[in-house]
Amino acid sequence: MGLVNWARMGLADAGPGFRSTVSGIAILMAGAAAITLGVPAAKAQQAAQPATGQHADQKKKADEKTAAEGTLLDKILVISRTGETAIQSLASASHVDQEQLERRMATTPNEMLLGVPGVTVQADARRVSSSINIRGLQDFGRVAVIVDGARQDFQRSDHGTQSIFYVDPELIKSVDVIRGPVANTYGSGAIGGVVFFDTKDAEDFLKPEETWAASVTGRYETNGKGWTTSASGAYRFNENWDALGNIVHRDYGDYKNGGGDTVAGTGFDVLSGLLKTTIRPSENSELKLGWVGSSDGWTETSGGVPANDVDLKSNTFTARYNITDDAKSWLDLHINASYNKTVLDLTTLVPQNRFDPSTGLPVLLPAGSLSTFDVGTTGIDIWNTSRFETAGIAHELTYGGDWVGDDVETGGTAGADSFYTPSGKRNVSGAYIQDKLTWEWLEVIAGLRYDSYSLKDTDHETSGDRLSPRITVGVSPFESAALAGLQFYGTYAEGYRSPSLTETLISGNHPAGVTFPFLPNPNLKPETGKTVEFGVNYKQNDILEAGDALRLKAAYFNNNVEDYIDGVTLSAFDPTSGCPFGPGIPICFQYQNFAKAKINGFELESVYDTGWGYAGLSASIINGHTISYEGERADLASIPSSQVTAQLGLRFLEAKLTVGGEVQYNGKPKGNPIAKDYTLVNAFASYQATDNLKVDFRADNLFDVKYTNPLNGSSTAVIYEPGITLKLAATMRFGG
């Protein structure tokens, strides 16, 4: 189906609010145009005229460099342990840089990851707390979410998302994604993959000649009538020491969906901050110390009525040290240490009829009752890469180890929500060795990882360990100019995820709605992900004109997750189920192992870039189901929409003005009871009016489509996503 047809589908699905927002579009566009036209006419005329002489040659070279070296797939992956780019990686890897993040004017992590193949974000109505899904796997650590090297392991179990995190997009300069268990050098449990958020640095903010710089951003969004204000400041003490600070405040009301209905409980008030300093003790060493924090507040609803007031405070402290020898040969040592503390307080706003989790008897939860979720995560990650040659074969030998400890404390009044997340401690550690061998047209990556875990509460304790291999073979068989950049690879990789505290230890009676028992399962087996992947990378320059660039990555994967863990309902009438008769309805709930979850799919990411514009196309097609030990198949509820995303951008006025849009088609997952096909259309414009003034405009869900995220099918109510949202922002910068 073509892009024009997708756009027509989006227009056909337009909600009743579409026409009423046309005037709003006109007003905001007029405002942006007024600022644009306010730039001195002489500058505009000069920019519009064709460059001549030496200036033309310089501009042409700059455009060629922008296209041939500036595509997203050519950016070095921060998450890479060997300093490779996404297009060089023999894995399904993606990079989102700061320019793209600014273009998306993201308010939530979901908007940051738009169009990244295989990645979907679930947020329920709680937009400030998100859970990332990679290739149909999410929650309980299946996807490792990392901010500046710190694992984000906060968990609050409920009917919706489980493993949630919050990071303000305004603080982020890039996002790296590695899909599949090939990411197992980045910590235990990531059988789905890794998402690494890298925060801003002073050296990215300061110009080479500046000692200090500051900026202020103001932004307004029409849907929810939300305001974002951000202030940044950086200072260079000397050439070996700099620091940066950033503070962000967001104040948003409840948004309207594509049908024009207000979605209760979607407003929030967030204050976030970042402090970061970089010290370079020597020419070959660097120390980064950082803090990222946020104070969030929002209201949860039940049946459209405010039910709970939520206050969340998160603080992440990180230290990252790197030292190399002069040639980065035998020594390229990294030491990362982190501590993340997240505390969520949930206060009831109205009296609620509940059940005591211990007795199953009715209790009244009075207004003002407090539930607390306190999760502390400590981590250390050490690795070194040695580079050398033997018999003409180049080696990149990476070896290291990591440890993560989670300390979970929950509590509150009997019948409160903290029941779903039991207290306890979990320790996960691992060590690995991986060698990347390169010989002319052949690359081979061989790795082995050892994982171990232990978790316990006052009544239970369990542990386990395993070895997980990885082997990847890549070939570049062609020498002709047109095919020299073509590379094929195949991978077999395994990953190991330990059960979480909730999956293993939850017990007691369901406290809300109706009551029934939860059964603990200390005998849960860990999950083992076994993935086969075949992929292709293609890199070519000077295709249609001098200096242009084409980059393409595509992969087919087949992931068998053995002993997959999911919740099951047991009948008290079945004497073999172990479900006792008790108060409430005659069922029990327990997390149990399935024989396997089978997930397969195809992913594509491509971009064509030249000095005056770019075009991108990404796609993700995914299917999955579980198989019980008795051989029964069932659709996997965590399978997201299959997606195709097209992007187009044009640069004018010596690249000061960029305009473009995005079209995304989303296909209904098989067996999902709430999902439908839908198409989203977005538009954007960014104008660098002067060196110190930048204006951005964006329209999301331009045709006001009413749609829902299929992953919210596990929620108690269908939650529709925002309708048309117009965003206008201005950034002023100063420096000296």
Which among 252, 253, 235 is positioned nearest to 244, based on CA atoms? 235
> Residue 88's Cα: distance from chain center in Å?
22
Answer with the residue of higher pLDDT: 32 or 581: 581
How far from 109 is each of 3, 129, 728, CA to CA, in Å? 26, 9, 19
How much of the chain, in percent, has pLDDT values that exceed 70? Answer: 89
pLDDT cut 90: percent of the chain above it: 67
- pLDDT, tens digit (0-9, with 9 covering 90-100), for 443-482: 999 999 999 999 888 888 889 999 999 999 999 999 888 8
Whether the per-residue pLDDT at 110 is higher than 70: the answer is yes
Question: 85 and 74 in contact (C-beta within 8 Å)?
Answer: yes
Q: Quote the strand ranges of 224-284, DSSP E.
A: 226-238, 241-252, 268-282
Which residues sit opposite 623 in a β-bridge?
600
Instruction: Please report the pLDDT score of residue 457 as a whole number.
Output: 81
Q: What is the pLDDT of residues 294-345, one digit of tens each?
A: 999 888 887 778 888 999 999 999 999 999 999 889 999 999 999 999 999 9
Rounded Cα gap, residues 96 and 113, in angstroms: 8
Q: Give every CB contact of residue 460 below 8 A, 6+ residues apart in sequence.
A: 504, 505, 520, 522
CB 55 within 8 A of CB 654: no
- 8 Å CB contact between 548 and 541: yes
pLDDT for position 705? 97
Q: How far apart are CA 572 and CA 339, in angstroms?
A: 44
Position 720 pLDDT exceeds 50: yes
Which residues have a Cβ under 8 Å from the Cβ of 558 and sit 6 or more positions away? 531, 532, 533, 598, 599, 600
pLDDT confidence of residue 81: 81
- Which one, of 103, 109, 145, lies nearest residue 126 by Cα? 109
- Distance CA(508)–CA(513), nearest Å, equals 15
Q: Which of 20-34, 265-279, 464-478, 642-656 has the lowest mean pLDDT?
A: 20-34
